[in-house]
Amino acid sequence: MATPKRSSWERACEELEARLSREDPAQAADLAALDRVRVGLLGRKGALTELLKALKDLSLEDRRALGPRAQGLKTLLEGKIAERQNALERTADERKLSAELDLTLPGLPQPRGRRHPLTQILDEMTRILSLMGFSWAEGPHVEDDRHNFSALNIPEHHPARDLHDTLYLADAPLLLRTHTSPVQIRSMEARRPPLRIMCPGRVFRHEAVDATHSAVFHQLEGLYVERGVTFADLKATLAAFMEQLLGSSEIRLRPSFFPFTEPSAEVDVRCLFCSGRGCPVCKQSGWLELLGAGLVHPNVLKAVDIDPERWSGFAFGIGVERLAMLKLGVKDIRQFYENDVRFLRQFDENIA
């Protein structure tokens, strides 16, 4: 049987519940209104506070029955008010920031530099070759006749020397290397086979400089010496290299002559620009001449005391500037050496 106290409390509670359903505190327009709602309900004299206080006048049994109802109401109310307060504060913050910040001002320039485009191309090539097991090797720019010529099967008074216009030093019997191949000799002198090396570097020619010729340029050389290395190995290696580098594994080998390889080949890659249909870049041939390659000449192996009957090898070389010009659309080789910041800035990473 409901006591009069209990029923009046229940009435007050129902009234409050009805009021709350009429005016949702979460509808308060701003933080001040919300605060008024909070004080009106949850303040020291607030309606809900009063109702909770009135609980203590009820019997223990009634308190047990009605207490949770009042508490539930309080939790709900506090949650709603907090949520509304959050939303109102967030809106105010956002309004304030958007007034202060001009999002259309340019981003502050980050002072980031660039690796030279030739470095980027070389890095890409050496990255691929290193994944194929080629280790780095290096040698000096100033070379002697033996390493640059005679050990590479280019004897003195041989017309093959005409293939390289050489720059000589004035005060010493030395020259500037005309290709990276002397590094082959140095590597084979220093280490016995098996050998799988690559040597990126500068080379020098006595050449009048114009848009497509330079007295200084870069080459990348590869050398692999092992038992039973064949021309078929060379073809497969170059195809894999070119596929990674250019996305074109279609290569063509043509007979050619280099004194330090036999058989020798010029290596063409399917034109990147026309896929072989013919365009001005490939001079309508559908092919781009990119590498020289071949099996290491037996005389070269003999020159470094490696028995050509027991060992064989292949070598290949690629001109870096030519590839860079093709990939980057540079028309004048001299621009690689002018160091105009307008040029150097253009080539960002991931070009290769």
Partner 1 sequence: MKISLNWLKDWLPLELDARELSGRLTSLGFEVSSLEKRGPAFRGVVAAKILEVSKHPNADRLRLCLVDDGTSRLTVVCGAANVAAGQLVPLARVGATLPGGRTLSAAKIRGVESQGMLCSAAELGLSGDHSGILQLPPTPLGGELAETLGPADEVLDVEVTPNRPDCLSHRGLARELAAFLKLPLKQAPASTPPAPAGQCPQVSIEAAKACPLYCARLISGVTVGPSPAWLAAKLEAVGLRPINNVVDVTNYVLLDLGQPLHAFDAARLAGPGLRVRFARAGESLAALDGKPYALSAEILVIADSARPVAIAGVMGGLETGVTEKTTSVILESACFAPPDIRRASRRLRLRSDSSYRFERGVDPEAVLEASERAAALIARLGGKGSSVSAPGIAGAPPPAAKPIQASAERINGLLGSSFPEPQIEACLRGLGRLHPEGPGRWLLAPRSYRRDLESAADLAEEVARLAGYDSIPSQAAPVPPRAAKATPYESLARRCRSRLSAAGLLEACNYDFVCEKTLRLCGLSSAEAPRLANPVSDEWTLLRPSLLPGLLQNAAGNLKHGAAAVKLFELGAQYARRGQAIEERRHLAGLLLGPLRERCWKPELAPDLGFHDAKGLAQDLLSGLPALKWTPLRQASGATAADPLFHPAAALRLELPEGALGTVGLLHPTISRAWGLERQPVALLDLDLERLLVSSWPQARFAPYSQFPASWRDLSLLADKTLPYAELEAAARGDAQTLRRLDLVDVYAGKGLPAGKRGLTLRLTFGRMDRTLTDAEVDSEIARALERLKAAGAELRR
Among residues 76, 94, 345, 351, the one that binds partner 1 under rule CB under 8 A: 345
Q: Token match 């008010």: residue?
A: 81
Q: Say if CB 240 and CB 269 are below 8 A apart.
A: no
The correct pick among 5, 90, 192, 254 for binding partner 1 (CB under 8 A) is 254
Whichever of 66 and 188 has its CB closer to partner 1, that residue is 188
Q: Are 73 and 16 contacting, i.e. CB atoms less than 8 angstroms apart?
A: yes
CA distance 16 to 172: 107
Tell whether the torsion through CA atoms of 52, 57, 61 and 62 is positive or negative: negative
Judged by beta carbon, residue 147 or residue 196, the one nearer partner 1 is 196
Nearest-approach distance from CB 93 to partner 1, in angstroms: 25
Interface with partner 1 (CB under 8 A), residue from 44, 101, 111, 331? 111
Interacting residues with partner 1 between 278 and 337 (CB under 8 A): 295, 297-298, 308, 312, 336-337
Give 13 or 238: the residue with its C-beta nearer to partner 1: 238
Could you list the beta-strand ranges (E) of 173-332: 175-176, 195-204, 216-226, 251-258, 261-270, 287-296, 312-319
By CB under 8 A, tell whether 4 contacts partner 1.
no
User: Which of 206, 277 has the CB closer to partner 1?
Assistant: 206
In the list 75, 99, 108, 350, the residue contacting partner 1 (rule: CB under 8 A) is: 108
Rounded to 10°, the helix 117-131/231-246 angle is 130
**Residue carrying the six token digits 């390659």:** 293
Binding mask 49-88 for partner 1 (x = CB under 8 A): ----------------------------------------
Count of residues making up the chain: 352
Which range in 1-9, 35-43, 59-67, 342-350 contacts partner 1 by CB under 8 A?
342-350
Which amino acid is residue 23, in one-letter code? E
Minimum Å gap between C-beta 12 and partner 1 is 52
Give the position of tokens 């980050």.
110
Chain-centre distance of CA 352, in angstroms? 10
Smaller CB distance to partner 1: residue 55 or 216? 216
Region 172-191 residues binding partner 1, contact defined as CB under 8 A: 172, 174, 176
**x/- site string to partner 1, residues 122 to 161, per CB under 8 A?**
-x-----xxxxxxxxxx-xxx-------------xxxxx-
Q: How many residues bind partner 1 (CB under 8 A)?
A: 90
Question: Which residue lies nearer to partner 1 by CB, 9 or 217?
Answer: 217
Instruction: Single out the residue of 347, 322, 344, 319 nearest to residue 333, CA to CA.
Output: 322
Ramachandran sector of residue 196 (left: φ over 0; alpha: ψ -120 to 50; beta: rest) = beta
CB count within 10 Å of CB 102 equals 6
| Pairing between β-strand 312-319 and β-strand 142-143 as defined by DSSP bridges | unpaired
Restricting to residues 191-250, name those near partner 1 by CB under 8 A: 194, 196, 202, 204, 206-209, 215-216, 226, 228-233, 235-237, 239-240
Residue 109 binding partner 1, by CB under 8 A: yes
Q: Are 206 and 165 in contact (CB under 8 A)?
A: yes
Enumerate residues 17-46 that contact partner 1 by CB under 8 A.
none
Indicate the residue among 74 and 115 with the shorter CB distance to partner 1: 115
